[in-house]
Amino acid sequence: MILRMDRLQTELPKPKNPSANDAAAIQELLGGKFGEMSTLMNYTFQSFNFRGRSQLRPFYDLIANIATEEYGHIELVSYCINMLLTGVTKRDPNPVSGPLADAANFRNSYHTLASGQQALPTDSMGNYWNGSFVYSSGNLKADLLHNFFLECGARANKIRAYEMVTDPCARAMVGYLLVRGGVHIVAYAKALEKLTGVDVGKLLPIPDISNKKFPEAKAHEDAGLHLKLYQFSTEDYGTAGKIWNGPHPEDGQECKFEPLPEGYGAPVPDLEPEPQLNSPLDPAMIADILKKMQ
Ligand code: MN3
């Protein structure tokens, strides 16, 4: 079971320039083939389906902890999209003034026509995420190899999204996820090495650019965030440290498996209603409901 906290894994600054087209580009990191929905669902199914876990417990615990962290990643990318979309149309309950006129030029019209200016389970082209992106073969070596490749593909998309979108909200999100995704790449490399003896870490980084080139990622790595794999449970999934240990392949520092730190994460942004979309409701209706519930 998953226990939920009303926190974001890292703080997202308010966007300097809200932009529907930036939000559309960032959708790739949520519902694209290599997006966070894919990492979440791949590791979730692989952990549910893991056979022989009493013999291979550290591998099961590793995949299960990473799956849980990915839930927080889909949350983080979704909030970034929601924040980039806050302010892209006029906040006006009067339809006659055409408060959504600018939306006709947005490259993803679902952000207004099909939602209240919010994240959707789609890629950057508006294609819906689908379950065929999930690989859960039942063979541990094949699954780990797939996960390693999936994280490298995800990293390539993050780097390109960083290069496309310069807003500090998006860059804070991408910088953080480059570091955490980097942990997951190394974790799967270490798992493959434990399983086969092959030093997969020698392939890194893929693509061939260090996280330290991205100032928002470098700040987290300077604080040692790339060395920590977290136990997303107070009691369970505690043997992943049998895999997540030893030197980090890029800088040689010691990798540590740790419980979630005190005060983990940051407050969740509380976004204002968008009356031009009746999101969440007509303003007069909201006032009436609040009056009745008092
Ligand atoms: Mn992730």
The Å distance, Cα 38 to ligand 1 centre, comes to 9
The Å distance, Cα 135 to ligand 1 centre, comes to 16
Please give the model's pTM, rounded to 2 decimal places: 0.97
| pLDDT grade for 290, boundaries at 50, 70 and 90 | very high
The Å distance, Cα 73 to ligand 1 centre, comes to 5
The Å distance, Cα 162 to ligand 1 centre, comes to 15
The Å distance, Cα 109 to ligand 1 centre, comes to 26
pLDDT of amino acid 5: 95
CA 94 to chain centre: 36
Q: pLDDT tens digit string along 83-132? A: 999 999 999 999 999 999 999 999 999 999 999 999 999 999 999 999 99
CA atoms within 13 A on the CB side of 13: 14
The Å distance, Cα 180 to ligand 1 centre, comes to 7
Q: Classify each residue of 93-114 as buried b or exposed e, where b means 16 or more C-beta atoms within 10 Å of its C-beta.
A: eeeeeebbeebeebebeebbee
The reply to whether 140 falls in a domain is yes
The reply to whether 15 falls in a domain is no
The Å distance, Cα 227 to ligand 1 centre, comes to 15
Q: Decide: 229 and 257 in contact? Cβ < 8 Å.
A: yes
The share of the chain scoring above pLDDT 70, in percent, equals: 100
Q: pLDDT tens digit string along 171-184? A: 999 999 999 999 99
The Å distance, Cα 199 to ligand 1 centre, comes to 23
258 φ, ψ (degrees, to nearest 5): -135, 155
What the block records as the tokens of 172 is 């804070």
The reply to whether 83 falls in a domain is yes
Distance, CA of 215 to CA of 239 (rounded, Å): 33
The Å distance, Cα 36 to ligand 1 centre, comes to 5
Distance, CA of 210 to CA of 29 (rounded, Å): 19
The reply to whether 1 falls in a domain is no
Q: Classify each residue of 251-269 as buried b or exposed e, where b means 16 or more C-beta atoms within 10 Å of its C-beta.
A: eeeebebeeeeeeebeeeb
Closest by alpha carbon to 9, among 80, 84, 72?
72
| Overall domain count for the chain | 1
The reply to whether 9 falls in a domain is no
* Alpha-carbon distance values, 216 to 174, 271, 275 (Å): 8, 24, 34
The reply to whether 124 falls in a domain is yes
Place of tokens 């939920």: 4
Q: CATH number of the domain that 230 lies in? A: 1.20.1260.10
The Å distance, Cα 29 to ligand 1 centre, comes to 9
The Å distance, Cα 1 to ligand 1 centre, comes to 19
The Å distance, Cα 185 to ligand 1 centre, comes to 10
The Å distance, Cα 90 to ligand 1 centre, comes to 33
Helix axes 57-84, 36-48, angle to 10 degrees: 150
The Å distance, Cα 177 to ligand 1 centre, comes to 6
Place of tokens 């055409």: 98
The Å distance, Cα 281 to ligand 1 centre, comes to 33
Q: pLDDT tens digit string along 231-281? A: 999 999 999 999 999 999 999 999 999 999 999 999 999 999 999 999 999
Distance, CA of 59 to CA of 30 (rounded, Å): 26
Amino acid, res. 170: A
The reply to whether 12 falls in a domain is no
pLDDT of amino acid 84: 98
58 φ, ψ (degrees, to nearest 5): -60, -35
pLDDT of amino acid 282: 92
Q: pLDDT tens digit string along 159-214? A: 999 999 999 999 999 999 999 999 999 999 999 999 999 999 999 999 999 999 99
The Å distance, Cα 168 to ligand 1 centre, comes to 19
What the block records as the tokens of 164 is 């496309």
The share of the chain scoring above pLDDT 90, in percent, equals: 100
The Å distance, Cα 59 to ligand 1 centre, comes to 18
What the block records as the tokens of 138 is 């039942």
pLDDT of amino acid 276: 97
Place of tokens 């508006």: 126
Range of the domain at 176: 20-91+102-293
The secondary structure element, H or E, covering residue 24 is helix 20-26
What the block records as the tokens of 280 is 């969440």
The reply to whether 240 falls in a domain is yes
